[in-house]
Structure 1
Amino acid sequence: MSDLDELLDFYGPQQLPQTTQYYSHWTNSKNLRNCINLAMRGAKNGNTSSLKTLQLIRVLLVAQA
């Protein structure tokens, strides 16, 4: 459960960067926020693939920053 708590702390105040180049509908920050919200709901319900998705998104956001 500590992984989930750590991810909740990371995504709670997180402001997603606005994308300036529009490659596809998946690069839109609104869609990214929706994806994160959906994965957070799944992770809170015990879905391990949602937890993995949140971890991968976090790695990508940290690498981008």
Structure 2
Amino acid sequence: MLLIFRILLVIDSSTVQLREETYKRTGLLEHKEDEEKRKVGHQVAEDYANNGNVFENIND
């Protein structure tokens, strides 16, 4: 059972590495990171518009 788990873990980590390499080659990784930054920026702007204080939610 442990051997099967280890094999599956190796296959999964290899798949993740291959996916990341593909993203790097095609430029999709940068696009994904930019999208995440954009989402955070929109959330900060929305919090400021609603509350007037961006850092108010951090202390909760």
Q: TM-score scaled by structure 1?
A: 0.31
Higher relative contact order (Cα pairs below 8 Å, separated by 6+ residues) = 1
Q: TM-score scaled by structure 2?
A: 0.34
Higher Rg: 2
